[in-house]
């Protein structure tokens, strides 16, 4: 993907994420996780069964990479987060 397409995708991603964030902000981690899991399942189900696992792996690896960028609190997590499961 060329640089202009990547920049456009990143900008659109930011717009969509910024729209969704307020809907999840006041929910518990359980609700947030369930919503994200359902959206992911809907997304993956749209792919040909032959590529679903590869697509899921790509999404999870991308999420792992992004977690490193967003983790401001280190191994103990957010100081107000009592959710440990």
CB-side neighbour CA atoms (13 Å) of 14: 6
The total number of structural domains in the chain stands at 1
Report pTM.
0.74
Classify residue 42: in a domain, yes or no: yes
Q: How many CB atoms lie within 10 A of CB 33?
A: 14
> Phi and psi (nearest 5°) for 51?
-115, 5
Classify residue 82: in a domain, yes or no: no
Classify residue 65: in a domain, yes or no: yes
Using an 8 Å Cβ cutoff, are 21 and 35 in contact? no
Classify residue 9: in a domain, yes or no: yes
pLDDT per residue as tens digits for the range 20-64: 999 999 999 899 999 999 999 999 999 999 999 999 999 999 999
What residues contact residue 29 under an 8 Å CB cut-off, 6+ apart?
A: 81, 83
Classify residue 81: in a domain, yes or no: no
Show the domain range for 35: 3-71
Classify residue 80: in a domain, yes or no: no
Classify residue 21: in a domain, yes or no: yes
Classify residue 23: in a domain, yes or no: yes
């Amino acid at each position: 993907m060329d640089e202009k397409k990547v920049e456009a995708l990143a900008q659109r991603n930011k717009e969509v994420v910024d729209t969704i964030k307020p809907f999840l902000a006041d929910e518990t981690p359980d609700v947030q996780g369930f919503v994200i899991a359902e959206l992911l399942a809907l997304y993956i189900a749209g792919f040909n069964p032959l590529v679903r696992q590869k697509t899921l792996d790509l999404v999870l690896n991308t999420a792992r990479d992004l977690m490193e960028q967003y983790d401001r609190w280190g191994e103990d997590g957010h100081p107000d987060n009592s959710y440990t499961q």
